[in-house]
Chains A and B, each alone.
Chain A
Amino acid sequence: MLTKRIIPCLDVDDGRVVKGVNFVNIVDAGDPVELAKIYNNEGADELVFLDITASSDNRKIMIDIVKKVAKKVFIPFTVGGGIRTIEDIKNNLIAGADKIAINTSAVKNPQLIKRGASMFGSQCIVVAIDAKKQGNSWEVFINGGRTATRINVYDWVQKVVQLGAGEILLTSMDRDGTKDGYDIELTKKISENVSVPVIASGGAGSLQDFAQIFNDGKADGALAASLFHYDELKIADLKQYLLQSQIPMRIT
């Protein structure tokens, strides 16, 4: 039986993990390479690395870090942020990424999904979507949540899957950073209507939130950042809890 995935996310800015880092900690928790190693050893099922500034200036730095992180993780590794071209995808894959997340570029240039999937396989093209509730539906936002697109999330998901996306990383902007729980309604609606896995993101605050996003939200994976960086939740403890809640988990 396929297990549900627990996925820590490293938001990296200028070579440092920027979200939820406890700087007074003795261990330098701000180093993405060190954190990646810890999560790999603690039983994370996958790792996501997002370069949130993603300017072309520090692109080279990012590739170097991707390479270093890739040497420390022996679990699937997704890289995103500032991916604009087939060349960007290729360079990150060579650096050791297994999957590439595209967000803004996918909206601006949907053919990137199609070309990426046909060259490297759908399994390696993850479309990341930042969704914000507007009335009774959700709207796609780009540029790190700064720009509205008027595109309906549900329609967009259907389109990206048709173009060849192999996975959806779905972030609720309304829940992001609130610790009020994942957006169950949004995730369920998307997950039940697409043929590819959906990773829920935004809002994780407790053990119960994870159980709920799998049971009610029908997510295939659950992503969290600050909860893990701050050490508020240990991956091993979370997995034990979920296993006891009858949710299939990989225990290492």
Chain B
Amino acid sequence: MITIVDYGLGNLGSIKNAFDKLNINSVISSSAKEIEKATGIIFPGVGAAGAGMKNLREMGLDEIIESLIRVEKPLLGICLGMQLFMSFSEEGNVNCLNLINGNVRRFNTKFKVPQTGWNQVKKNRASKLLKGINNNSNFYFVNSYYCDPFDKKIVKGVTEYGQTFCSVFEKKNIFGVQFHPEKSGENGSQLLKNFTDIVYENTTCS
């Protein structure tokens, strides 16, 4: 089962709706026990990094996520969820989960911040998440900050917003997207379907 982690932030209903449309079973949960049993995990999030980390720690979910990484369960971070995978965020200067080495930085641009709207993802390396999705496809973004991983090889998609930033990363079983696939029409649906394929492929292999 795909489990959508509820840590008090985010449009969980939208993500559930998107999976329902694809006839993929998913469940929203804040229970550590239930999350531990998941086959694949969606780690959503809108809002601020500080509040996100505080909630995660209070609910004991930070340790659960670390243990899931050790057993290599596929994990997809969306928007703030992706950012919390990093070592450190400039937003409120908080330490994050440190699953991916690197920082979360604020846009330094003359454009309006947050970036709000549809922007293109340029595929710069072979990507499991972007399989079957055309290069420069549009996805829906709402963000003031972006991930800057130290290891550039994990960056699979980039987007331009006054500067080039990482919009998709993949490192083993850890996946992150800066945009909202659940709000990105057909391209977003395809991405969630790809993640589901990764999740179940993983199950049959192990």
Contacts and interface: CB of A to CB of B under 8 A. Distances in A.
A45 B117 contact: yes
Contact of A94 (B13, B119, B120): B13
B11 A1 contact: no
B148 interface: no
A157 to B, nearest CB: 14
Interface of B: 9, 11, 13-14, 17-18, 20-21, 46-48, 111-120, 138, 140-142, 160-161, 180, 182-186, 188-189
24 contacts: A2-B118, A2-B161, A3-B117, A3-B138, A5-B118, A74-B183, A74-B184, A74-B185, A74-B186, A74-B188, A75-B183, A75-B185, A76-B180, A76-B183, A93-B11, A95-B13, A96-B17, A98-B11, A98-B183, A120-B47, A121-B46, A123-B114, A196-B114, A220-B116
A109 interface: no
A195 B110 CA distance: 10
A252 B185 contact: yes
Contacts of B119: 1-3
A30 interface: no
A2 B111 contact: yes
Closest 10 CB pairs of A and B: A121-B47, A250-B138, A250-B118, A123-B142, A3-B118, A96-B13, A2-B117, A197-B116, A121-B46, A2-B119
Nearest to A120: B47
Interface residues of A, number: 32
Contacts of B20: 71
A167 interface: yes
A124 interface: yes
Interface in A1-23: 1-5
Contacts of B184: 74-75
Interface in A170-222: 195-197, 220-221
Nearest to A119: B47
A252 B186 contact: yes
Nearest to B120: A1
A122 interface: yes
Nearest to A74: B185
Contacts of B161: 2
